[in-house]
């Protein structure tokens, strides 16, 4: 019996994906649960498993082709018989360049395996994988191979003069950039934002961070780790703000799951750290470093970017003093963290210099009113002023 393998929706909001590599070819046996192909969605590279055992009878979609969710991508013969004539034919829409072919140095025309994170990195850096030599088993191209190639001097010839200069280029939209454009546009249209701002001292934050890192040589606590922890604790103490909009009502969360914005080469990812307030500062720091690393190497999973009631974006580490951020639905809050800088402050009639930091909170007015948002922000400010309460 012929089984139609369709592209599943592996994450909320996924509408389509690009077949980046078929790991099984026509005639290959496949076990139930075995990976048959890799697909690049708007936010990550995912592996597609076969829900049945059998033989790959026909590959409907070529590598490099964008397909919609629930579209048939392959036919699996569960009994070893021929595919019936009424099965859909393979579409003749081959891409101009197939990234799984060897470069011109490999005249044998053999296929080369490519790690998903290597393909991801190559896409972010606009690198032609046919020019990359793989160092893995069987010539497999690894993430390290792509990084090494990206550091080489450009081999392209300098442009020759012509009668007119090119004043602009139209760059094609990547799936990620298109998804970001659609989401932020929809967020600003559908979510009624309002904004609150406070300025808080970070001297005690710096002292605590230095103390922990000095006490434990293996620790590498950052200011961002402490701020994420404090934001989660503030949400736990202000349950009215730990909510999101739902068509049937207001969804209230029992734990604080926070999305952490991670900048990558071609855009932005927002993986979610679950139950932040239930983790120690050291555990949280390790988990954040791990998800940031995996996000930047294309190893983050689609389900790791779902859920949460709030997000946090820290451009302070890039020197930005203050900014407002767009809420990422279905979340209802986005905290924008600015850079700390010295400001003269009067305390008890004495003028002194303190390191101050701007925090701006974007709020979904459908579910959170100004008084509740103010209580949340003031709770956060109080925790950052006395960060030892987080230990």
CATH number at residue 90: 2.40.50.100
Q: Catalytic annotation on 365?
A: yes
Asked whether residue 364 falls in the same domain as residue 384, the answer is yes
**Count of domains in the chain?**
3
Report the C-alpha gap between 275 and 307 in whole angstroms: 11
Helix (H) or strand (E) holding 86: none
Q: Say how far apart CA 368 and CA 375 lie, in whole Å.
A: 11
In a domain, 183, yes or no: no
What is the tens place of the pLDDT at every residue in 343-386? 998 888 999 899 999 999 999 999 999 999 999 999 999 999 99
Residue 107 is part of a domain; what is its CATH number? 4.10.320.10
Judge whether 245 lies within some domain. Answer: yes
Task: Please identify, among 57, 74, 96, the residue that sits at the C-terminal boundary of a domain.
Answer: 96
Domain final residue pick, 96, 128, 143: 96
Within a domain: residue 172?
Answer: no
DSSP E strand stretches across the chain: 2-6, 16-22, 29-30, 35-40, 45-49, 54-59, 66-68, 72-77, 193-201, 243-246, 249-252, 258-260, 262-264, 267-269, 272-273, 310-314, 333-337, 341-347, 350-364
The CATH number linked to 258 is: 3.30.559.10
Same domain? For 83 and 105 the reply is no
Q: What is the pLDDT of residue 146?
A: 87
Q: What Rg value do the Cα atoms of the chain yield, rounded?
A: 25
Q: Does the predicted TM-score (pTM) go above 0.85?
A: no
User: Is the separation of the CB atoms in 268 and 259 below 8 Å?
Assistant: no
In a shared domain, residues 128 and 206:
no
For 73-119, the pLDDT digits (tens) are 999 998 655 544 444 444 333 333 333 333 334 334 456 677 766 77
> Do 92 and 113 belong together in one domain?
no
In sequence order, what are the residues at sequence separation of 6 or more whose Cβ sits closer than 8 angstroms to the Cβ of residue 136? 113, 115, 142, 145
Instruction: Identify whether 156 is part of a domain.
Output: no
88 with 225, same domain: the answer is: no
Residue 173 placed within a domain: no
Residue 15 resides in a domain: yes
46 and 107 housed in the same domain: no
Domain of 23 in residue numbering reads as 1-96
Q: Which of 96, 119, 138 is the last residue of a domain?
A: 96
What pLDDT score does 100 carry?
Answer: 34
Is residue 110 located within the same domain as residue 89? no
Q: Give whichever of 35-49, 105-119, 157-171, 191-205 has the largest mean pLDDT.
A: 191-205
Same domain, yes or no: 126 and 226: no
- 128 and 47, same domain (yes or no): no
Q: Is residue 187 part of a domain?
A: no
Nearest Cα residue to 277 out of 234, 341, 216:
234
Instruction: Provide the 8-state DSSP code for 107.
Output: T
Residues 51 and 107 in one domain: no
In a domain, residue 177? The reply is: no
Select from 361, 326, 370, 60 the least CA-distant residue to 181.
Answer: 326
Are 111 and 86 members of one domain?
Answer: no
How many residues comprise the chain? 391
Identify the helix (H) or strand (E) that includes residue 275: none
My answer on whether 82 and 217 are in the same domain is no
Mean pLDDT for the chain?
A: 84
Catalytic pick among 214, 246, 341, 365:
365
Q: Which of 123-127, 132-136, 256-260, 350-354 tops mean pLDDT?
A: 256-260
């Amino acid at each position: 019996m012929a089984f139609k393998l369709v592209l599943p929706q592996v994450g909320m909001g996924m509408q389509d994906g690009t077949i980046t590599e078929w790991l099984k070819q026509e005639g290959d046996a496949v076990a139930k649960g075995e990976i048959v192909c890799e697909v690049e969605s708007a936010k990550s590279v995912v592996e597609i498993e076969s829900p049945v055992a059998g033989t790959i009878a026909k590959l409907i979609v070529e590598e490099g082709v964008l397909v919609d969710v629930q579209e048939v991508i392959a036919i699996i013969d569960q009994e070893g018989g021929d595919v019936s004539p009424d099965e859909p034919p393979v579409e003749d829409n081959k891409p101009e360049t197939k990234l799984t072919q060897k470069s011109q140095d490999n005249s044998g025309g053999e296929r080369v395996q490519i790690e998903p994170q290597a393909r991801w990195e190559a896409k972010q850096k606009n690198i032609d994988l046919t020019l990359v030599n793989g160092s893995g088993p069987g010539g497999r191209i690894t993430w390290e191979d792509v990084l090494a190639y990206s550091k080489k001097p450009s081999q392209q010839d300098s442009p020759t003069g012509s009668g007119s200069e090119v004043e602009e280029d139209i760059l094609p939209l990547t799936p990620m950039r298109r998804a970001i454009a659609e989401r932020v546009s929809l967020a600003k249209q559908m979510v009624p934002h309002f904004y609150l701002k406070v300025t808080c001292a970070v001297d005690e934050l710096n002292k605590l961070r230095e103390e922990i890192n000095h006490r434990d040589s293996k620790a590498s606590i950052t200011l961002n780790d402490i701020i994420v922890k404090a934001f989660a604790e503030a949400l736990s103490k202000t349950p009215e703000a730990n909510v999101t909009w739902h068509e049937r009502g207001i969804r209230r969360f029992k734990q604080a799951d926070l999305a952490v914005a991670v900048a990558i080469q071609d855009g932005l990812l927002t993986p979610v750290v679950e139950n932040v307030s239930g983790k120690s500062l050291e555990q949280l720091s390790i988990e954040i470093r791990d998800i940031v690393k995996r996000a930047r190497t294309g190893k983050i999973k689609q389900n790791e970017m779902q859920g949460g009631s709030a997000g946090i974006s820290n451009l302070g580490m890039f020197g930005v003093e203050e900014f407002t951020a767009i809420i990422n639905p279905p979340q209802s809050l986005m905290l924008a963290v600015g850079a700390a800088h010295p400001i003269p402050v009067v305390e008890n009639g004495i003028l002194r210099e303190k390191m101050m930091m701007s925090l701006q909170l974007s709020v979904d007015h459908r579910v959170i009113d100004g008084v509740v948002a103010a209580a949340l922000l003031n709770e956060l400010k109080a925790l950052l002023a006395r960060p030892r309460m987080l230990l």
